[in-house]
Homo-oligomer: A and B are copies of this chain.
Amino acid sequence: MRKLVFLFLLGYFSMEVLTAQSIAKPDVSKIVLVVHGGAGTITRQNMTPEKEKAYTEVLQQALQAGYTILKKGGTSMDAVEASIRIMEDSPLFNAGKGAVFTHEGKNELDASIMDGRTLKAGAVAGVKSVRNPITLARKVMENSEHVMLTGEGAEQFAKEQKLEIVDPSYFYTEARWKQLQQAKEGEKIQLDHSGDKGSNNEKIFTEGKKFGTVGAVALDGYGNLAAATSTGGMTNKRWNRVGDAPIIGAGTYANNKTCAVSATGHGEFFIRSVVAYDISALMEYKGISLQKAADEVVMKKLVERGGEGGIIAVDAKGNIAMPFNSEGMYRGFIKAAGTPSVLIYK
């Protein structure tokens, strides 16, 4: 009988411990959220006060959306998804609504998300009718056995998951359509915000400022990291090209042991350099800081290899890094105090 009572009490206290853990109070004093809206040739001389204001406002909204979640004790996964949905729904950024056009005049969207706590990840590529690809990437992670789905299969999965499906015409914006025509005239593939320096096509590119992969990384009150990235890819892209945004390790990576990273830039170079994971590996294996690791990859390796762009990152202690080797990068961050900071130029 005594033994039974003992076992009963043991079981009771074990449950107490478990319950206490699962409803652990978040320490919201350490929350951090960082977002980006793409990197490239973004200079003051190419910007108008109106444009600057418009970009700043959406970046602030994106920060606010994620912050509200984190502040209430929500997860970093919920926060990065919410931030990205705001940017996907804006026509200003090259993701979701504002996606650029392919060579064939279509919009093909890529996105990925990774949970630093579980190392689980989800990604989609070549999606044409899903309003918020980042939410689809998350559904792939949570409700399928897979990490990456593509094309029509990914869309079918989106329907099964009852995500919001839109007519492909939803993604039509006049500005992007004009950019495609300009890119075709220049017979060039247009990358992000970047100009083709030194060529006659520079004007086409530097005027194409309304581009931008979007991304978000966050640290929540439970100490968990998350990263997410969403994009429409390159204007005038062909052959169902896939860039780094949906590639885990290249465009997106998160691991509670090290950091959460979202990249933006010339995707091909970012894939070949496994950019996001390389920053994590440098921290883990060389024991260097997030800032040093991020600078090593973005300001040194990528520069040597000719890869233009940048990254945003946050580590498990809440340190932030936002290096870019291009002329500008739409970026912003918010911490526990709740004041959003938005930056555009160097």
Residue ranges of A at the interface with B (Cβ–Cβ < 8 Å): 114, 119-121, 125-126, 144-154, 156-157, 189, 237-243, 247-250, 253, 267-268, 271-274, 277-278, 281-282, 285-286, 305
Contacts and interface: CB of A to CB of B under 8 A. Distances in A.
Interface of chain A: mostly helix, strand, loop or mixed: mixed
A246 to B, nearest CB: 9
Contacts of A239: 144, 146, 149, 153-154, 156-157
A150 B240 contact: yes
A272 B120 CA distance: 7
Nearest to A282: B285
A248 B248 contact: no
A240 B152 contact: yes
A273 B146 contact: no
Given A248-B271, A249-B277, A253-B274, A149 B285 contact: no
A250 B286 CA distance: 21
B126 A150 contact: yes
B281 A148 contact: no
Contact of A268 (B146, B237, B240): B146
A152 B128 CA distance: 14
A153 B278 CA distance: 30
A161 to B, nearest CB: 10
A258 to B, nearest CB: 12
Return the 8 tightest CB-CB contacts between A and B, nearest first. Answer: A153-B240, A153-B239, A285-B285, A281-B281, A249-B274, A148-B242, A150-B240, A157-B239
7 contacts: A146-B241, A149-B241, A151-B240, A153-B239, A249-B277, A253-B274, A285-B286
Contacts of A281: 277-278, 281-282, 285
Contacts of A285: 281-282, 285-286
Given A149-B239, A151-B126, A153-B241, A274 B286 contact: no
Nearest to A120: B272
Contacts of A125: 150, 242
A238 to B, nearest CB: 7
Given A277-B278, A305-B119, A271 B148 contact: yes
Contacts of A240: 149-154
A252 to B, nearest CB: 11
